[in-house]
Amino acid sequence: MEISASMDTSAIDLAEKSHVKEKLPWYHASSFLLLWPALFFAVAYPLYNAMPKPVNIDEELYKPGQFVSERAQHLLLELDRLGPKLIGDEMNEKTMIEFLLREMDSVHREMRHDLYNLEVDVQRASGSYLAVDSIIMYQAVQNVIVKLTPRQSNSSAYLLINSHYDTKVGSVGAGDAGSMVVIMLEVLRQLATSSESFEHPLIFLFNGAEENEMHGSHAFITQHKWSPSCKAMINVDSLGAGGRELLLRSGPFHPWLIRHYKAAAKHPFGTTLAEEIFETGIINSKSDFRIFRDYGPLPGLDMVVQYNGFVYHTKYDRFDVISRDSLQSTGDNLLSLVKSISNAKEMLDIKAHAKGRSVYFDFLGLFFVSYLESTAIFLNIGFGGGGIIIVYFSLWYMSNKLDIDIGTVAKEFAVMFLMELLSFGLALGLPMLIATFYDAGNRTMTYFTNSWLVIGLYIIPSIIGLVLPVTIYLIIGSSKRIPSNYRLQIAGHAHCIFFALLCIMLTALSVRSAYLLMISLLFYVGALCINMITRLHERGYFWSLVLCACQAIPFLYFSYLFYACLVIYIPLTGRTGTTANPDLPIAILCAAGTILALGFLVPLINVFRYPVIIISIMTCTTFIFVLVSVSELGFPYRPRTNVMRLNFLQVNRKFYDYNGSLSQEDSGYYFGLQDHRKEQPLRDKLDLTGLVGIADKCDCQMRCGLPCDTQRWLPRMQPVQMPGDITLELLNKTIVNSGYSIRYDFKLAGPARMTIHLMPLEGVKMVDWSFLRGMLDSPAKYKPPYQITFTWGADSSPIEFYVELTKTNGKFNEPVFEIGIAGHYLSHVHKRDALSAQFIKEFPDFVNAVEWPTSYDRYIY
């Protein structure tokens, strides 16, 4: 028996030495590691940026029915030359209306009158609704609405297509959303001139008030005569300028819309992951989709252009950053979608088809995959459970092949599973640790301009975390009974089991993005089955070739997907606020993409000799990237292309006492900082002596005595000259409710954007007002001071309102409440005073200052 055991041990030692000899020289590992980024840049990157060939006007005769991007581009240039289009301005309320009506006349002249009927309506509406922390009011906002009806149609179910033509302060808005407006116009033209009719009437809503809390969409969906017949909608908007549009959201709970997108979209681009991330609120962005969904309620598709978010809501969102092929891409998709949904039988009874949610994604833009969530549960649990079963059979086969008991293999697997958990923790934790250190050292956003820095700062550390525990264990925890090639297979099996358990858990939590883990499991299980059938797993490291080949497809998909996530999110870090560390989401995205794309692959560096050398080289590479990132190259901002965002208000404040006397008047500059670096990059460029936070003022003054949320305040000695007047007139003061309540009637006149702040004093309660009662009816949720925002469009008439307050002692000959009125002179036609204009000129060229004069008057009644 001793001789037999000695012979078995010698055989294992000989086999182990044989496997060591089979390992490749360590310097070939560089080729293995570089293969994957080369594959990304050769396949995934070009496909991500692939665009269709634009169709020109002179090609229209032999390409009938196709979207003509050249015509759309001509219209976009015209919109660009008009300049900013702010609510209340003549450009928005008159010139844009005339522009759209002119285009409607052009379509009407060209259309097939024998097939279609075209109706145009200019809506002017006033209304209000309750938002998260304020009441939103609007007066005389305008929409241009077009109804295209097939003459043979008897359908009362309309499809709504929406975008907005108004712009943000200081922005021409070529991308957001002028490009969507001209695309809608060309889609309307193609449909109205087509010989191929459709079943359901179409509503094209060109809404003139989206940038101010979505007034235009709210006015249409709650008040317009055609809105009750709208059964579904397509919202097109922008988070950037140019590039492909992303299917950001669908439904909700209307999977038939995704089926139509899958069948119709010529250039599909969308993923459930984006939808679930957006719905968490991590991305602070709002669109008309939410208004239609909440106030319709309308199901629909939300499609947004997401490329080059650096220019979004800046003065650099111009015609020249939007290529014709990007217009063609979105136009092709929108035209095809409208044709498909306008013939959908589901439109006749959408409630009957509101069944479940969809899992969907495009594969490199080549095709689109979608299936019901119920199917996803079956697939996720099936492949998760299948992965566990096939791994068990592989381990059992190993024990038979090596003639050892299954317990020995199980113990090795248990240790490898612990190493896998440690690897996952390090792969996620190391990038997050680096992000935390960068935050502590005030060095966040170094990748903002040079996005390639994320490779060394976050992706390579994640790779190191993935491979380090397994490599160390394979080196120092040698096994005399299990050869190294089998141990490396067991490491892959441990990763598979971890993914399988995670996939099943996320599926149980109704996380549809668990499909990512299912894809990874699918191709690993496929590779494992091939290796077991061909017995390649018995022949040294040949099994790793099959694994690499099978992992090529998931690698391409995951690298494509997370590259898209970074393209979208990196620009967002420039406007996510001053408090949260923007590097953490970037680190997490890089780590998640690395784990999914390379989790089964990077442990294969142990196929090469001396893997520690390879890990050391990667560590040195990260160190070099760190040195580069803390140099001038790591400064986040660049003029025009990657700007620092800043809201800059020139504020004049007046505080009136109870007796009407002016107790305080001062002026200053309010800095609304939008990224985590705060004012630090401005310190060397501007004289910011006296710049302070004003949090200490919040206890003694309503809303800190400022018209906006508190950030930084820079006093100035000379008063800011306002370009207009704002007046609050007390019309009447009446004791009601047997002397225990008092009512104040006011008239307010001022600029197109005003904010009212109301604060009952101690012992006083607000019981009624002329605004929506939502805040007063939910006192546990809404606490004073109350905020009401008011915007007017085509009609600047003053508003009249009242407030009613009660006081238990009935004494109303003393202060009862405070009211603050902020007047925002947003338009570029309002002149800035000389001192403000000079200060603005001193801003460094990498700053995009969204600025306007603001008055704030506080009264006590």
Six-digit token string for 58: 């002179």
Model confidence at 696: pLDDT above 80? no
Amino acid at 832: R
Whole-angstrom distance between the N-terminal and C-terminal Cα of the chain? 103
Average pLDDT over residues 814-825: 95
**Are 725 and 707 in a shared domain?**
yes
Beta bridge partners of 765: 806
Model confidence at 686: pLDDT above 80? yes
Q: How high is the pLDDT of residue 697?
A: 66
Residue 753 CA to residue 213 CA, distance in Å, equals 12
If you ran DSSP here, which 8-state letter would residue 167 be given? Answer: -
Residue 503 CA to residue 523 CA, distance in Å, equals 14
Report whether 179 contacts 171 (CB < 8 A).
Answer: no
Please give the residue range of the domain that contains residue 553. 381-634
Amino acid at 807: K
Cα distances (angstroms) measured from residue 89 to each of 96, 313, 832: 10, 18, 17
CA 351 to chain CA centroid, nearest Å: 29
Six-digit token string for 723: 């370009």
558 lies in some domain: yes
Model confidence at 6: pLDDT above 70? no
**Are 401 and 443 in a shared domain?**
yes
Beta bridge partners of 163: 206
Report whether 582 contacts 444 (CB < 8 A).
Answer: yes
Report whether 157 contacts 147 (CB < 8 A).
Answer: no
Place of tokens 């902020």: 822
Q: How high is the pLDDT of residue 571?
A: 96
**Would the CA dihedral through 599, 600, 605, 611 be positive or negative?**
positive
Residue 267: which of 238, 247, 289, 251 has the closest Cα? 247
Report whether 217 contacts 210 (CB < 8 A).
Answer: yes
CA 815 to chain CA centroid, nearest Å: 46
Residue 648 CA to residue 669 CA, distance in Å, equals 7
SS3 for 122?
strand
**Are 322 and 451 in a shared domain?**
no
Q: How high is the pLDDT of residue 287?
A: 87
Reported as a single tens digit per residue, the pLDDT across 437-490 is: 999 999 999 999 999 999 999 999 999 999 999 999 998 877 778 888 899 999
Query: Residue 8's pLDDT band (boundaries 50, 70, 90)?
Result: very low
779 lies in some domain: yes
Q: How high is the pLDDT of residue 21?
A: 52
Count of helices and strands (H, E) across the chain = 23, 21
Within 10 Å of residue 74's Cβ, how many Cβ atoms? 12
**Are 710 and 658 in a shared domain?**
yes
376 lies in some domain: no
Reported as a single tens digit per residue, the pLDDT across 562-606 is: 999 999 999 999 998 888 999 999 999 999 999 999 999 999 999
Six-digit token string for 706: 């400022």
Residue 326 CA to residue 242 CA, distance in Å, equals 5
Strand ranges (E), 263-357 = 300-305
Place of tokens 């008009």: 82
Residue 851 CA to residue 319 CA, distance in Å, equals 22
15 lies in some domain: no
Residue 302 CA to residue 181 CA, distance in Å, equals 15
**Are 332 and 404 in a shared domain?**
no
710 lies in some domain: yes
Six-digit token string for 536: 């390649």
Q: Would you say how long the chain is, in residues?
A: 861
Reported as a single tens digit per residue, the pLDDT across 392-408 is: 999 999 888 888 889 89
Reported as a single tens digit per residue, the pLDDT across 72-106 is: 999 999 999 999 999 999 999 999 999 999 999 99
Amino acid at 437: F
Out of 354, 370, 396, a domain closes at 354
145 lies in some domain: yes
12 lies in some domain: no
Mean pLDDT over all residues of the chain? Answer: 92
**Would the CA dihedral through 454, 456, 457, 462 be positive or negative?**
positive
- Using omega within 30 degrees of 0 as the cis cutoff, is the peptide bond preceding 723 cis? no
**Are 710 and 597 in a shared domain?**
no
Q: How high is the pLDDT of residue 25?
A: 86
SS3 for 501?
helix
Residue 555 CA to residue 560 CA, distance in Å, equals 8
Reported as a single tens digit per residue, the pLDDT across 606-648 is: 999 999 999 999 999 999 999 999 999 999 999 999 999 999 9
Report whether 32 contacts 608 (CB < 8 A).
Answer: yes
**Are 626 and 653 in a shared domain?**
no
Model confidence at 10: pLDDT above 90? no
**Are 606 and 706 in a shared domain?**
no
**Are 341 and 386 in a shared domain?**
no
4 lies in some domain: no
CA 414 to chain CA centroid, nearest Å: 40
Nearest-Å Rg of the Cα atoms of the chain is: 32
Report whether 720 contacts 652 (CB < 8 A).
Answer: yes
Question: Which pairing describes strands 753-760 and 786-792: parallel, antiparallel, or unpaired?
Answer: antiparallel
**Are 571 and 468 in a shared domain?**
yes
* CA atoms in the 13 A half-sphere facing the CB of 697: 14
198: domain CATH number is 3.40.630.10
Report whether 66 contacts 346 (CB < 8 A).
Answer: no
Place of tokens 């240790």: 415
Out of 593, 612, 634, a domain closes at 634
**Are 784 and 835 in a shared domain?**
yes
Out of 594, 614, 634, a domain closes at 634
**Are 623 and 652 in a shared domain?**
no
CA 599 to chain CA centroid, nearest Å: 26
Question: How many domains does the chain fold into?
Answer: 3
Model confidence at 293: pLDDT above 60? yes
Residue 351 CA to residue 740 CA, distance in Å, equals 50
DSSP secondary structure, 207-257, as one string: ES-STTTTHHHHHHHHH-TTGGGEEEEEEEEESSSSSPEEEEEEESS-HHH
- Which 3-state string (H, E, C) describes 432-495? HHHHHHHHHCCCCCCCCCCCCHHHHHHHHHHHHHHHHHHHHHHHHCCCCCCCHHHHHHHHHHHH
Reported as a single tens digit per residue, the pLDDT across 60-75 is: 988 999 999 999 999 9
**pLDDT over 90 percentage in the chain:** 83
Residue 123: which of 200, 179, 214, 206 has the closest Cα? 206
Model confidence at 692: pLDDT above 90? no
Give the angle subtended at the CA of 509 by the CAs of 508 and 511, to the nearest 5°: 105
